[in-house]
Structure 1
């Protein structure tokens, strides 16, 4: 999903222009927030917690124009809490951003 990082960068550049510091700050905020929701998905043991974290992840990704994460969040919404396939794919997608160590997801 190497295109995900590019899609995020393009969306940020379109929103804030050529301010590299602001782009970096917003990119970091997206990555931190997405990683937090993925962590909550990984720890969810009931349908409500899983569903809530997946919805938040979907909304976050949609607001930043990261369609691949939106699609994975939709898969999570259709799946059961702790779905290892979805969690593995989300972790791989986030590693594509190059700033999330594999051990953190």
Structure 2
């Protein structure tokens, strides 16, 4: 599947306007938050912690129109805590986004 972060880029650009520094800060904040939620998801050992981390990740993805991350977080919500496939899918999405952000 090809990775298309067009909706995410458009959302960030709309929020930042003509301010490239703000655009960079928004990208960094998005990535930091997604990475933090992924870490919490990896460490979750019960349904409650797993669901909270997945819901936060899903909310973040929805807020920034990151469609692929939204779908991956939704899959995690339906998976058992610690499900390796769910974690790998979210990691892959975040890694692809990270590669597109670097100059």
On the 8 A contact 1:8/1:27 being kept in 2, the answer is no
Structure 2: distance between partners of 1:75 and 1:44: 16
Question: How far does residue 98 in structure 1 lie from its aligned partner after superposition?
Answer: 2.6
| CA contact 1:58–1:69 (8 Å) conserved in 2 | yes
- Alignment of 1:2 onto 2:3: yes
Matches within 5 A, 1:25-40: 25-40=25-40
Q: Does 1:96 align with 2:96?
A: yes
TM-superposed CA distance for 1:7, in Å, is: 2.9
- Displacement of 1:9 in angstroms is 1.7
1:36-84 per-residue CA deviation (whole Å, 9 max, x = no partner) reads 0011101100000000000000001111110111111110111100111
TM-score under structure 1 length normalisation: 0.87
Q: CA RMSD in A?
A: 1.2
Instruction: List alignment gaps of at least 5 residues for structure 1.
Output: 100-105
Segments of 4+ in structure 1 off by > 4 A? Answer: none
Q: Does 1:45 align with 2:45?
A: yes
Which of structures 1 and 2 has the larger relative contact order (alpha carbons within 8 angstroms, sep 6+)? 1
Gaps in structure 2 of 5+ consecutive residues: none
Shift of 1:97: 1.7
